[in-house]
Amino acid sequence: MDTLHAHLEALFDDLELVIGWETGYEPLRPTPAFLRSREDLSRLVWNPLCAPNLSVYLPGILKDAKETGKKIGVCLKGCDSRSLGALVQEGFVERERLYVVGLPCPGTVDPEALAEARKSSAPVTHVSFRDGLLAITSRDGTEEIELERVLARRCRRCRHPNPLHADVILGDPVPPRRTEPSFSDVDAVEAMSLEERRAYWEEELSRCLRCYACRNACPLCVCRDRCLAESRTPKWTTQRDGVRDKFLFHMIHALHLAGRCTECGECERVCPVGIPVALFKEKMARIALELWDYQAGTDPAATPPLQTFDPSETGI
């Protein structure tokens, strides 16, 4: 933390602003922070509760930014940095306008798992993290909880805890939990019979509120205000509350991310009703890997496999 503050302090004159995290309404909820002055930097926090993937803001903020010649600083975890890579690949972000602070990530917390692991349910007053242990303080005292016990699903399958495409890496490299791609959660669903699988998704998706948090939190959902989920012309989905329309939306979402999803898991993290929507995208990522040996966002110079369309190509 001190290194992060000191590093950004020293650089701040050359930066328009820094996007990082600050303590939210309670220390368990760090929230994205747009730090525009040197004094603001003191609000910056970095720990395994810093879940939001800040790359989601980059296309918008670069579009709106004044041409001051100064760069925009952004703090990115390993998985966040892959999203940046994909945005650069697709031309939504000009890498040279950013100053990327890469933060090797020990993994992020699943709030529900943490709530279950805690003995106290009292509001939290302080959080610290050291040597794989979260120390959580409330009026009932301080509890120490192993991060490994309360890890988010996305982090259990993480191969990229160490950021790519960064200008600077602050902190010691973290050994990846996985060295090979893991699709065991997709396997588990695919092991179901067709009927079981249908029942499984019908039950999960029946809860969908169509709040579109999954879509809006996705750094690669670049259509933003023009999503066809809400389009009436052409009309793809109805406003009925049935599973059919919800399923269709989530399929469209997944297909639009085929060969583009960087597996940051934000879509699943933000779902208010706990639908494992990232599984759809993991399936797509697996296909991209098997078909083209391609992992989105790892090589900013690569062309995404589904964007190689060439009108002059013969045979299409």
Partner 1 sequence: MEQAFFLADAELQEALAGLSAQADVWVPASDARKPGLVRFRRFQPGLTVRLDARSLVSAKEVLFPRSETLLRFTKEKDLSVPAGHRIHLDDARTVRPVVVFGCRPCDARGFLTFDPVFTKGPYRDPYYSERREKTTFVSLVCRDADAACFCSAVGSGPADPEGSDAQLIPVDGGYVLRPVTERGAALLEPIGRTAAPEQIREAQDVLDQVGRETVGEGSLTTLAEAFRARFQDPAFWHAHIDKCLSCGLCTFVCPTCYCFTITDEARGLNGERIRSWDACMFPHFTLEASGHNPRPSKVERYRNRVGHKFSYFPARYGQVACCGCGRCVRHCPVSVDIRAVVRDLPAQEEAHA
Binding interface with partner 1 (CB under 8 A):
24-26, 28-34, 52, 56-57, 112, 115-116, 121, 123-124, 203, 207, 209-213, 215-217, 225, 230, 232, 238-241, 266, 269-270, 272-274
Interhelix angle 243-256/194-206, rounded to 10 degrees, is 100
* Cβ nearer to partner 1, comparing 26 with 202: 26
Residue 18 in tokens: 């820094």
* Cβ nearer to partner 1, comparing 56 with 284: 56
* Cβ nearer to partner 1, comparing 137 with 216: 216
Q: Work out how close the CB of 22 gets to partner 1 at its nearest, in angstroms, rounded to a whole number.
A: 10
Q: How many CB atoms lie within 10 A of CB 286?
A: 17
Q: Work out how close the CB of 241 gets to partner 1 at its nearest, in angstroms, rounded to a whole number.
A: 4
* Cβ nearer to partner 1, comparing 24 with 104: 24
Q: Work out how close the CB of 182 gets to partner 1 at its nearest, in angstroms, rounded to a whole number.
A: 21
Q: What's the chain's length in residues? A: 316
Q: Work out how close the CB of 32 gets to partner 1 at its nearest, in angstroms, rounded to a whole number.
A: 4
Q: Work out how close the CB of 112 gets to partner 1 at its nearest, in angstroms, rounded to a whole number.
A: 5
Q: Work out how close the CB of 284 gets to partner 1 at its nearest, in angstroms, rounded to a whole number.
A: 22
Q: Are the C-beta atoms of 109 and 150 separated by less than 8 Å?
A: yes
Q: Are the C-beta atoms of 74 and 99 separated by less than 8 Å?
A: yes
Q: Work out how close the CB of 179 gets to partner 1 at its nearest, in angstroms, rounded to a whole number.
A: 30
* Cβ nearer to partner 1, comparing 169 with 248: 248
Q: Work out how close the CB of 4 gets to partner 1 at its nearest, in angstroms, rounded to a whole number.
A: 19
Q: Work out how close the CB of 283 gets to partner 1 at its nearest, in angstroms, rounded to a whole number.
A: 20
> Which residues, at least 6 apart from 25, have a Cβ–Cβ distance to it below 8 Å?
31
* Cβ nearer to partner 1, comparing 2 with 39: 39
* Cβ nearer to partner 1, comparing 214 with 261: 214
* Cβ nearer to partner 1, comparing 143 with 230: 230
* Cβ nearer to partner 1, comparing 173 with 242: 242
> Which residues, at least 6 apart from 179, have a Cβ–Cβ distance to it below 8 Å?
159
